[in-house]
């Protein structure tokens, strides 16, 4: 599989560990950086990975920052990206099976290399189940497409 990977300075060490593992497993890895532990801005790397995935240049993306939250927020701003934050292998399996997540974000502060490797393996191996989950994702896509429209909410204001 062709996978893009990126990290800011706080995620650099974990990203390197994952990059080496992915290459050893036979994947083609597009590493967008960062390439050292000097301070950087996480949105730059999230955008690069997300755009590679959204354009089809890579099949999936992996992002690492201190908490994983900033990367997931930034990646989700790119149309067609469904980035999920990974904490546990079963959670990652469900995000792939039910939400068709195409970018996995990890927090280097909370994730050791062994756990990260396991979650990445699950992320890459788990297929999307479709069915009722596809219907729900279509509704999520509708939300994304409707952002230029004025929101209308029915309900009772008190």
Residues with catalytic annotation? Answer: 65, 98
Q: How far apart are CA 17 and CA 2, in angstroms?
A: 17
Cβ 24 vs Cβ 38: under 8 Å: no
- Residue 140: alpha-carbon gap to chain centroid: 16
- For residue 59, the number of C-alpha atoms closer than 13 Å in the C-beta half-sphere is 10
Q: How far apart are CA 61 and CA 66, in angstroms?
A: 17
Q: How far apart are CA 11 and CA 111, in angstroms?
A: 10
């Amino acid at each position: 599989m062709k996978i893009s990977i990126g990290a800011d300075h706080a995620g650099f060490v974990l990203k390197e560990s994952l990059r080496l593992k992915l290459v050893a497993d036979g994947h083609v890895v597009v590493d967008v950086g960062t390439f050292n532990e000097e301070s950087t801005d996480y949105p730059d790397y999230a955008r690069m990975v997300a755009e590679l995935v959204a354009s089809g240049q890579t099949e999936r993306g992996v992002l690492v920052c201190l908490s994983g939250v900033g990367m997931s927020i930034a990646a989700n701003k790119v149309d067609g990206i469904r980035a999920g934050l990974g904490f546990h292998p079963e959670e990652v399996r469900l995000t792939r099976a039910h939400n068709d997540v195409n970018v996995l974000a990890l927090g280097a502060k909370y994730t050791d290399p062994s756990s990260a490797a396991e979650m990445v393996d699950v992320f890459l191996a788990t297929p999307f189940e479709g069915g009722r989950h596809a219907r729900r994702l279509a509704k999520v896509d509708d939300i994304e497409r409707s952002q230029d429209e004025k929101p209308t909410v029915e309900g009772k204001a008190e």
